[in-house]
Amino acid sequence: MRRLLLLAPLLLFTVGCGVVESTEDEATDTAREVARKAGERLYGQRPRTAEEVGRSASGIDGVEVLRMTGTSTHDGDGVDVVVRTSGLAYDGWLDPEEVVVRRCFALRVSPKSEWRADPRDVDCPDSPPLTFAPPPEPPRLPYEELRARLPRVPEGGRVDEAEVRRTLAALDLHPAIRTEVKADGGRVGVLLLVKGNGFDPQDCLLARVDPGATEVWVPPRIHRMPGEGGCTVGNALDPKPSPH
């Protein structure tokens, strides 16, 4: 009878509160949360290659990339990334002991992926973390060269669009730099643009050749954000007002 009385509080605790989670399980949950947050960082609709996904994942604190499957986010099932993360928990009350675990999870990066999807528990591959080369540097836009070579037309003169186009051709621009020229109302606008990633500010130069004035400038950062219309030849001809 006495043993039953002693066990009764333990049974009530077990039934009422469930089985107490082990310290290792707590640490594993922490590691899983790191992987889940990595999945949030990788989530998006923008097409990316497996190399780009892997590079992004490897740059997240506490994440190691061990395996990549797939070629790009928009091909087939997308890109599967196996990552290894660490979790920490404490065992004991009076003199707690630190328990650290390392666990592996699979993340899928695809337009069909769900936001905050739970990472899948997987066995860790027996291989070192993958390394990724840094992304190529974007080509430099020739601000000084463009300003020096664009024609200066005197007041009352006529701007020759063909001469502006010949000037751009003579700059021998990097193939990744897109150019656009447009004449309007006696003026000629010029755009030099490096394709962006759809999220960060675009890299562009604007120029306008007017009778009496030739200008070259970089639009403000806020105007170079995707959707703001700052990196367009129209903005070269009729600039947006400066942000306050």
- Where exactly are the structural domains of the chain? 21-122, 143-237
Residue-level pLDDT at 95: 74
224: pLDDT strictly greater than 90:
yes
Q: What is the pLDDT of residue 43?
A: 93
State the pLDDT confidence band at 226, using cuts at 50, 70 and 90: confident
Q: Is the pLDDT of residue 138 over 60?
A: yes
Does the structure show a pLDDT above 60 at 19?
Answer: no
Q: How confident is the model at residue 244 (pLDDT cuts 50, 70, 90)?
A: low
Average pLDDT in the chain: 89
**Cβ-Cβ contacts under 8 Å for 71 (sequence gap 6 or more):** 49, 50, 79
Mean pLDDT of 142-163: 95
Amino acid identity, position 177: I
CB count within 10 Å of CB 192 equals: 25
- Residue 67 CA to residue 4 CA, distance in Å, equals 53
**Average pLDDT for 31-43:** 96
Per DSSP, the three-state class of 161 is: helix
3-state SS class at 183: strand
Residue 13 has pLDDT above 90, yes or no: no
Is the pLDDT reported for residue 12 higher than 80? no
* Res. 4: pLDDT tops 90: no
pLDDT(6) > 80: no
pLDDT for residue 3:
42
Residues 116 and 39: beta-carbon distance below 8 Å: yes
Min mean pLDDT across 109-118, 165-174, 185-194 is at 109-118
Lowest average pLDDT, out of 1-10, 142-151, 199-208, goes to: 1-10
Answer for the pair 126, 183: CB distance below 8 angstroms, yes or no: no
Average pLDDT estimate for 9-37:
72
Tens digits of per-residue pLDDT, 176-208?
999 999 999 899 999 999 988 777 899 999 999
